[in-house]
Chain A
Amino acid sequence: MLAFILRRIFQSVIVMLTVALVSFALFRYVGDPVTSMVGQETSLEDRAALRDALGLNDPFFVQFARFLGNAVQGDFGISYRLQEPVMGLILSRLPATLELALISGALAFIFGVGFGVYTALRRRGIISNAIMTLSLIGVSLPTFLIGVLLIWIFAVELQILPSFGRGEVVALPGGWSTGLLTPSGRASLILPAITLGLYQMTLIMRLVRAEMLEVLRADYIRFARARGLSDRAVHFGHALKNTLVPVITITGLQLGSIIAFAIITETVFQWPGVGALFINSVRAVDVPVMAAYLMLIALVFVIINLIVDLLYYAVDPRLRVDRGAGASA
């Protein structure tokens, strides 16, 4: 168990180092940092002095090591565009993105599993067919179109939900701002969360359905039925648990993509999160923010991966080797 965790952590560190290298290359070689930092009228000597002061003439590895050292301490430099520390910018916007991503991830998981199980159990029902057809639309429509459609229906036509922004937020200790505690914050979350989660939901639903149909054909399900267990016990005890083993992995990875793909949704709904920050930074070639964003997303993926592995481990006893010695009976 411990060896397993250590090995996974080691792999995660390798991944992060690789991303850091890419991120550093971006930071260092896309555009000229000095040009981006100083005004038009700065003299050549001043530029050279600044270049020296910033250590840009040092060997590559020294610079990379310094970049890493700073990154570990959360220092990604100053945003060219906003002239503020990058880390502070990202931290102030992270709660918005994480709240959006977690809520839409939870929605996607709950409804994905629910609909997936339902359509697997009532394979030929009218409602199942309707859900399957709608889900096809869900996967084929681009995210921004879904967002625009939702805005048109619920914000413009029905006027029951806000179309942009995060609503009223409450500051929590630790610098976290939440929209979950105010009615307008919760209302503002609905449309973006649906937009962001719809694709993942259909994905999870189709996965659960396929997996569940497969599991329902398994011998141990037949044997469970032959022992007279109730449909409920067979479907939700025996079948669902086996279905969820592979689903957990996919869902975990989906949560990573949700955070990464929040960019589009945040743009459509003018959601003040890191995705919107990233888009604006790309427009302004604000390289430090881009580099930091890259590392942040990588970190999120790595952490989620780690959690998924541990969950997998908790759900599937076959992966636990602790009692393996008893296997030879």
Chain B
Amino acid sequence: MSEPLLSLRDVVVEFPTRRGVLRALDGISLDVNAGEVLGLVGESGAGKSMIGSAIIGLIAPPGRIASGEIRLSGQRIDNLGPSQMRALRGKRIGMVFQDPLTSLNPLYTIADQLVETIRTHLPVTAAEARAQAIALLDRVGIPAAAQRIDDYPHHFSGGMRQRVVIALALCAQPDLVIADEPTTALDVSVQAQIIDLLKDICAERGAAVVLITHDMGVIAQTADRVAVVYAGRMAEIGPVSDVIHRPAHPYTRGLMGSIPSLREERARLVQIPGAMPRLDAISAGCAFHPRCDVATAACATTRPAMTHLVSAQKGEQSADRFAACLLLDHTAREGGEHGG
């Protein structure tokens, strides 16, 4: 396997506060390969959005990346200066946010916003940028794009606005798109369309996607691999079918177990008993052990490291899997039985 497009190694994000330093992300490591879709799941507050912010360099001050490194095509990007980072945003890394109703500036037309973004990154004239923008709007499914381009955001419905947002995120041809719950704020009837659009258009352009979502059905259908995050730490990462059918981490098992049937399309993530700890109250050892039904005494004292598992399933691509659990042998065996 060649070098990954994006790679995070032991990324720690800290927020200094009056009552001490909060660790929003604690040792996040993951790779995204060119052109693939990586799903990112976890409970609310787990740090999914924070991972996206860290990658694109938009962590709200006073938060900062305290240690670890982020590489894009091998080049470190976590320590770039403001102007170098700005050149990457939009150009190499595109971002789609959750709420299309508030993502667009209400006082500018769609054309203004698209042309401005295109011309920030590409050496084209205003007329060329406008032509590109119309073609792109057409591609994301805005009917009569040439006329609608001069409309203001409030002239569009939520679903249409999210299409415009996708066009904006993709207009400078980034290699990586981070989509943070791109359909959560939308009507159920258009959610699938938007996900399909995002997946197709990124596939066409060879852009990789980091897809943050609560919807396991979407992950199952869309992602190549999935990463599970808990309390700012990695729980598990691996190919989607492996993680869904043979979860290695008890937390992942809880997540999957709470879904009635994985064949059911729109199964939503249901909470496991108990709640994720607050950032200032994460216990020693494994962050999940207070809620874990198989925890041992060691889990309360020893923090598990990410451990390499090898999927030995026949007929499936053998891909790398990692999980952070002291009882990995136990769970892996159980997982194996489950699958066989």
Residues of A near any B CB (own CB < 8 A): 218-220, 222-231, 233, 237-238, 241-242, 245, 315-318, 323-324, 326-329
B281 at the interface (CB under 8 A from A): no
Q: Which of B88-96, B234-242, B303-311, B325-333 contacts A (4 or more CB under 8 A)?
A: B88-96
Chain B 166-184, CB-CB to A under 8 Å as 1, else 0, gives: 0011001000000000000
**CB of A212 to closest CB in B, whole Å:** 14
B105 at the interface (CB under 8 A from A): yes
Contacts of B99 on A, CB cut-off 8 Å?
219
Q: Which of B149-157, B207-215, B218-226, B244-252 contacts A (4 or more CB under 8 A)?
A: B149-157
Q: Is the CB of B58 within 8 A of A225?
A: yes
Contacts of A230 on B, CB cut-off 8 Å?
86, 120
Q: Is the CB of B106 within 8 A of A223?
A: no
Contacts of A324 on B, CB cut-off 8 Å?
155
B102 at the interface (CB under 8 A from A): yes
Chain B 102-131, CB-CB to A under 8 Å as 1, else 0, gives: 111111110000001100110000000000
Chain B 50-67, CB-CB to A under 8 Å as 1, else 0, gives: 000000101000000000
B291 at the interface (CB under 8 A from A): no
Q: Is the CB of B95 within 8 A of A229?
A: no
Q: Is the CB of A323 within 8 A of B155?
A: yes
Contacts of B143 on A, CB cut-off 8 Å?
329
Kindly report which residue of chain B lies nearest to residue A215, judged by CB atoms. B105
Given known contacts A225-B58, A228-B88, is B97 in contact with A245 (CB within 8 Å)?
A: no
Kindly report which residue of chain B lies nearest to residue A233, judged by CB atoms. B116
Q: Is the CB of B104 within 8 A of A228?
A: no
Contacts of A225 on B, CB cut-off 8 Å?
58, 89
Query: Measured between alpha carbons, how far is A327 from B117 in the docked complex, in Å?
Result: 24
Q: Is the CB of B107 within 8 A of A226?
A: no
List 19 additional A-B contacts (Cβ < 8 Å) besides A228-B117, A327-B156: A224-B105, A226-B94, A227-B95, A227-B117, A227-B172, A228-B86, A228-B89, A228-B121, A229-B90, A241-B107, A242-B106, A316-B106, A316-B107, A318-B154, A327-B154, A327-B157, A329-B142, A329-B148, A329-B156
Dominant secondary structure of chain A at its interface with chain B? helix
Residue in A222, A227, A315 with the greatest tally of chain B CB atoms within 10 Å: A227
B140 at the interface (CB under 8 A from A): no
Q: Which of B89, B106, B120, B142 lies in contact with A233, CB distance below 8 A?
A: B120
**Tally of contact residues, B, Cβ under 8 A:** 39
Q: Is the CB of A318 within 8 A of B90?
A: no
Kindly report which residue of chain A lies nearest to residue B101, judged by CB atoms. A219
Q: Is the CB of B120 within 8 A of A226?
A: no
Given known contacts A228-B120, A229-B116, is B97 in contact with A222 (CB within 8 Å)?
A: yes
B87 at the interface (CB under 8 A from A): yes
A-B residue pairs in contact (CB < 8 Å), sample of 18: A219-B102, A220-B103, A223-B103, A227-B94, A227-B95, A227-B117, A227-B172, A228-B91, A228-B121, A237-B116, A238-B108, A241-B108, A242-B105, A315-B107, A327-B155, A328-B157, A329-B157, A329-B160
Query: Measured between alpha carbons, how far is A228 from B173 in the docked complex, in Å?
Result: 13
Query: Measured between alpha carbons, how far is A228 from B57 in the docked complex, in Å?
Result: 11
Q: Is the CB of B89 within 8 A of A227?
A: yes
Q: Is the CB of B120 within 8 A of A329?
A: no
Q: Is the CB of B120 within 8 A of A318?
A: no
Query: Measured between alpha carbons, how far is A326 from B117 in the docked complex, in Å?
Result: 25
Q: Which of B91, B104, B105, B155 lies in contact with A329, CB distance below 8 A?
A: B155
Given known contacts A238-B105, A241-B107, is B89 in contact with A226 (CB within 8 Å)?
A: yes
**CB of A252 to closest CB in B, whole Å:** 18
B6 at the interface (CB under 8 A from A): no
**CB of B242 to closest CB in A, whole Å:** 32
Kindly report which residue of chain B lies nearest to residue A220, judged by CB atoms. B105
Kindly report which residue of chain B lies nearest to residue A221, judged by CB atoms. B105
Given known contacts A229-B120, A317-B107, is B155 in contact with A223 (CB within 8 Å)?
A: no
Given known contacts A228-B89, A230-B86, is B120 in contact with A222 (CB within 8 Å)?
A: no
Query: Measured between alpha carbons, how far is A315 from B152 in the docked complex, in Å?
Result: 12
Query: Measured between alpha carbons, how far is A220 from B153 in the docked complex, in Å?
Result: 11
Chain B 284-296, CB-CB to A under 8 Å as 1, else 0, gives: 0000000000000
Query: Measured between alpha carbons, how far is A242 from B82 in the docked complex, in Å?
Result: 24
**CB of B126 to closest CB in A, whole Å:** 15
